[in-house]
Amino acid sequence: MPLTVPAHGPEAAARLASMSDVTASDGSLRRFLHGLPGVDAVGLEGRAATLGTRSIKTTAKAYAIDLAISMIDLTTLEGADTPGKVRALCAKGVHPDPLDRSTPKVAAICVYPDMVKVAKESLGDSGVKVASVATAFPAGRAALPVKLADVADAVAAGADEVDMVIDRGAFLAGHYLKVYDEIRAVKEACRRPDSTSAHLKVIFETGELSTYDNIRRASWLGMLAGADFIKTSTGKVAVNATPPNTLILLEAVRDFRETVGVQVGVKPAGGIRTTKDAIKFLVLVNETVGEDWLSNDWFRFGASSLLNDLLMQRQKLSTGRYSGPDYVTVD
């Protein structure tokens, strides 16, 4: 299938057209992905560790906390989710600290497809988006028509964003064109009759991809197929977002924009629970891709518990007192 990624302007369109041979066949796609530079694991982990030691204080820390809050996809993905729980989460997303209305809103509320309508109605015109996982999340073990029906259901209910999971089995078996075509099909299913489209986040489940080289290949594969965001993890496995695997995604989106002129967002998800963790990731963004990605249009945190720690640290900065966990709601 030829490359048909939406381009950002005529120059990007021309660059993408020049790469159309890459996705013409399974063989050409494999040659391209395996021709990407190998990842220096020691260098990658060393850089991530070094950047993680940066000290952020006072005014810069306050800015980073507010920025991180604004980047959160506040998430509930449990079998016991109820409409009431989703409504409460939406209320928290719009006003994270009811006693301080200067607190930023989160970027989105992330739910299963059957809760999209509830979230959409609860959020109203708040500006907080509704994200929905789909494609048989989290394992992705379903036939393509079932996955596409899952996406269509979420989009019809009003989802602004769709978080899909790739077929890791196909990817690890080297069936790259199958994964590419599936992402393209999901991208098409994100379109609405009015010609608008839900943004597509493509989840790689980096903890299951075994090697850093595979994470880099998956990143390029997702972007070539039209991902609006590339995302580390579902949050449902043992190894989720880490600074090294997120650094690979950041390097990939930087190189992709330099190559074809299209900017793609990044979303680390799972295991990011503290303000200190979030700031480490923001430093990675600033030092790897720069200010262009330092907004919730281009960087998100997939998290459920991170917001509470950010709120407690925010209150400590403003009052000088640490309020403790009773200050925030338990989701």
Question: Looking at the annotation, which residues are catalytic?
Answer: 163, 231, 267
Give the residue among 110, 108, 117 at the shortest CA–CA distance from 83. Answer: 117
> How many angstroms separate the CA atoms of 176 and 35, rounded?
14
> Do the beta carbons of residue 223 and residue 264 sit within 8 Å?
yes
81, burial (CB in 10 Å: exposed 0-12, middle 13-18, buried 19+): middle
Parallel, antiparallel, or unpaired: how do β-strands 129-133 and 108-111 relate? parallel
Q: What is the dihedral of CA 267, 271, 275, 281, to 10 degrees?
A: -40
> How many angstroms separate the CA atoms of 300 and 304, rounded?
13
Query: Going by C-beta distance under 8 Å and a sequence separation of 6 or more, which residues neighbour residue 55?
Result: none
Burial 46-68 (b: 16+ CB within 10 A, else e): ebbeebeeeebeeeebeebbebb
> Do the beta carbons of residue 139 and residue 161 sit within 8 Å?
no
Among positive and negative, which fits the CA dihedral 111, 114, 116, 119?
A: negative
Q: 199 by DSSP, 3-state: which?
A: strand
At how many degrees (to 10) do helices 176-189 and 212-224 cross? 40
Give one word for 298, left, alpha or beta, with left for phi > 0 and alpha for psi -120 to 50. alpha
Can you give the length of the chain in residues? 331
Q: What is the dihedral of CA 70, 76, 82, 84, to 10 degrees?
A: -20
